[in-house]
Amino acid sequence: TRQPVDRWVKSYCPYCGVGCGLLVGLHQGRVVKVKGDPDHPSNQGDICAKPVYLPPVLQTPDRLCHPQMRAHRGEEFRRVSWDTALEHVARRLEQILAEHGPDAIGFYGSGQFTTEDYYLANKFVKGFLGTNNFDANSRLCMASAVAGYVRGLGADGPPTCYEDIQHADCFFLIGTNMADCHPVLYQKIRRRKAEDPDRVRVMVVDPRRTRTASIADLHLPIRPGSDVALLNGMLHVLLEAGRVDPDFIARYTRDFHQVAAAVQAYPPDRAAALCGIEPELLVEAAMAFGQAQAVLSFWSMGMNQSTQGVAKNSALLNLHLATGQIARPGAGPFSLTGQPNAMGGREAGGLAHLLPGYRQVTDPQHRAEVAAHWGIPVERLSPRPGYSALELFEAAAAGKVKALWIMCSNPAASMPNLAQVDEALRRAELVVVQDAYHPTDTSRYAHVLLPAAQWPEKEGVMTNSERRLTYLPAITPPPGEALPDWQIIARLAHKMGFAQSFTYASAAEVFAEFVALTRGRPCDYAGVSHERLQREGPLQWPCPAADHPGSPRLYTGRVFPTGDGRACFQPAVHQEIHEQPDDEYPLVLNTGRLKDQWHTMTRTGKVPQLLKEAPEPFLEIHPTDAARWQLQDGRPVAIISRRGRAVAVARVTDDVRPGTCFMPFHWGRLLSPHGAANDLTSAARDPISRQPELKACAVRVQPM
Ligand code: SF4
């Protein structure tokens, strides 16, 4: 827009977990421009293209502006009042509770929630409905990293910060295409490398030669799923070369002997063979890691979305602990959160096994603390973890979960094995979809549609990948009758007779109630309030007191929250991906994101400038494989797995390994009616984190 800006307001990017500060330009109260906030410590004014194009997608014709209902799918929705919609939902939930018990109800939330939304939804579901069936799309994103941190370091939360990029001389990027998925952070690494090209080394581990690999000194194109073999092989090399840190191991860790024994099975020849790379490459990577002053490792979905997700995370933490590359400037493991507030969601207890303040539902002491804070009998809190994301939809498909409430997410496009998600949504007796847009792939199944406010129509707090809390103001009013998610939950709680515990004058009050539950916990931010964030700007937790400046790094005293203060080595054993290629399905399909798109494209898919690079779904395939199956560059290809079929345009490139192919997952069936990437993917999951293996399934291809 060319309209002049008459006022700039500070905000926060609603897209990825880098969590950039934004300046929002208003003209007569309308958002007309977005640019980077030079004062935000996480991005210093840098942003990528996605938020620049937010203004045109805030008021599109498909904004959901009023509550709507229908008795049966196939009928038209009719507009109703908030009172009618919530009264209906409250009575239906009460019926289901009476007939089937609380575990017949399930909620599915989102890393796009504010912390206030997350906290209140959790309080309502876990404390007042009496079920732990609240999970979120963060399960598809970070659950393996969470489990890895908890097992190895004693608590969730990356110990590192963006400033570490300036102190590191070795970057180990594994299973992450930062150039496309965390662009602002990638630019920081690119600049660091350009400043000191001879000393700074960048290693990229990825089956694809991505844009990220373009700055790599070393690209290790390993076979899909062979990360544990690589990491164990590297530790084997470092042990042999005497490049570990015996003093750090002895003083600050335990159980090293188990890992030292386990990696004996990964000499470089065997490890490299498992990875499908030359042994020299593995040895070179290990020595670069072992010789660096400060190694900063970044990873995201390539490590986490795997049936070995937790083992991969453990193997990487083992490398950092064995070399003492942790808990000092420039060194450490750094998981990259996908979504803007997936971190805040974990802090607020937004997964089916968690309670607020990084507490566990299985811990009696934790339940007692939370119950006392909520003023409920402790028996109201179930000690059983609820259904995780995939299990929730499987239970609905099996008829065990009768009511599904989906907020701020589009699982009918983003979950693996969409046929099963369809079955779940069809079979559920009550589907409530709370969203800013309609229709979406998911809202098509709804009985009740509840209009939610979105960025920048609601205030709240979000935590980015470096544990930094930013306050987002409500800058414009929501359209029609849309409400912030936490207010919708509070209104429903009133309808169900819990008014006393859900009366809040503001989001600041909700936040203050939650913050009190973080006191004394690893994610302590008892010293943070809306007012302080507005006054001082973003802060990093731990921040336990009002005069505490916040903490860029964790564990700098080398005491870990494990009970005895020592970090814990966790042996990891290589296993192949769940669905091996065979004669019928000979290729391994990898799925991922694109630089200019966000998740299921509800906003970014409406912006022509963001569609330029990829206007339609595509399949990257190696020339050898393309020739074998008679595929031509630029021509349509059908991709078929054991679960379904998708259509894309072939891009023939040697950026992918022979025997593998890559497809972005952004296009759901609403945008790609002949089949989407997640029609193909498998719901096989890590046994500990319950995170699905969205990065590898077996497919075959044929020209169309
Ligand atoms: Fe937003 Fe991420 Fe881009 Fe920053 S890098 S502007 S947080 S999408």
Ligand 1 near 18 CB (within 6 A): yes
**Mind listing the pLDDT tens digit for each residue in 145-200?**
999 999 999 999 999 999 999 999 999 999 999 999 999 999 999 999 999 999 99
User: Given 3-state DSSP classes, what are the helix, strand and coil percentages for the chain, each rounded to the nearest 5?
Assistant: 35, 20, 45
pLDDT at residue 316, rounded to an integer: 98
316-351 burial, b at 16+ Cβ within 10 Å, e below that, comes to bbbbbbbbbbbbbbbbbbbbbbbbbbbbbbbbbbbb
Residue range 7-57 in CATH 3.30.70.2190 = no
Ligand 1: nearest atom to the Cα of 48:
3
Average pLDDT over residues 18-30: 97
- The whole-angstrom separation of Cα 36 and Cα 647 is 37
DSSP conformation letters of 645-672:
EEEEEEEE-TTSPTTEEEEE----TTT-
Superfamily of 143-335 according to CATH: Dimethylsulfoxide Reductase, domain 2 (3.40.228.10)
Placement of tokens 């969601």 in the chain: 345
| Ligand 1 centroid distance, CA of 101 (Å) | 42
**Mind listing the pLDDT tens digit for each residue in 454-487?**
999 999 999 999 999 999 999 999 999 999 999 9
Pick from 52, 182, 189, 603 the residue to mutate for probing ligand 1's pocket: most ligand atoms within 8 Å of its CB.
182
pLDDT at residue 2, rounded to an integer: 75
* Phi and psi, residue 593, nearest 5°: -105, 165
Ligand 1 near 19 CB (within 6 A): yes
**Mind listing the pLDDT tens digit for each residue in 508-558?**
999 999 999 999 999 999 999 999 999 999 999 999 999 999 999 999 999
Ligand 1 near 34 CB (within 6 A): no
For ligand 1, atom 3, the nearest C-alpha belongs to: 48
Q: Is cis: bond before 439, omega within 30 of 0?
A: yes
Placement of tokens 């007012």 in the chain: 531
- CATH class, domain 587-703, is mainly beta
∠ CA 380-347-397 to the nearest 5 degrees?
60
**Mind listing the pLDDT tens digit for each residue in 190-230?**
999 999 999 999 999 999 999 999 999 999 999 999 999 99
| Ligand 1 centroid distance, CA of 47 (Å) | 6
Please determine, for residue 51, whether its predicted confidence score (pLDDT) is greater than 80.
yes
**Mind listing the pLDDT tens digit for each residue in 383-399?**
999 999 999 999 999 99
Ligand 1 near 47 CB (within 6 A): yes
Ligand 1 near 50 CB (within 6 A): yes
Average pLDDT over residues 39-63: 97
**Mind listing the pLDDT tens digit for each residue in 621-669?**
999 999 999 999 999 999 999 999 999 999 999 999 999 999 999 999 9
The reported pTM is 0.97
- The whole-angstrom separation of Cα 224 and Cα 102 is 40
Longest dimension (CA), the chain: 71
| Ligand 1 centroid distance, CA of 50 (Å) | 7
Per-chain mean pLDDT for the chain:
97
Length of the chain (residues) = 704
* Phi and psi, residue 434, nearest 5°: -110, 110
Average pLDDT over residues 278-288: 98
Please determine, for residue 22, whether its predicted confidence score (pLDDT) is greater than 80.
yes
Ligand 1: nearest atom to the Cα of 19:
7
Ligand 1 near 336 CB (within 6 A): no
For ligand 1, atom 6, the nearest C-alpha belongs to: 47
Ligand 1 near 20 CB (within 6 A): yes
> CB-based contacts of 539: which residues, under 8 Å, 6+ apart?
468, 469, 525, 528, 532, 533, 549, 550
Ligand 1 near 13 CB (within 6 A): yes
Domain ranges (residues) in the chain? 7-57, 68-139+340-503, 143-335, 587-703
Pairing of strands 134-136, 253-254: unpaired
For the segment(s) 68-139+340-503, the CATH number from 3.30.1330.80, 3.30.43.10, 3.40.50.740, 2.60.40.10 is 3.40.50.740
Placement of tokens 């007796």 in the chain: 429
| Ligand 1 centroid distance, CA of 190 (Å) | 16
Ligand 1: nearest atom to the Cα of 182:
5
pLDDT-based confidence at residue 89 (cuts at 50, 70, 90): very high
| Ligand 1 centroid distance, CA of 608 (Å) | 19
pLDDT-based confidence at residue 1 (cuts at 50, 70, 90): low
Ligand 1 near 184 CB (within 6 A): yes
- For residue 365, which amino acid is it? Q
Residues 439 and 431 sit within 8 Å (Cβ to Cβ): no
| Ligand 1 centroid distance, CA of 18 (Å) | 6
Ligand 1: nearest atom to the Cα of 340:
7
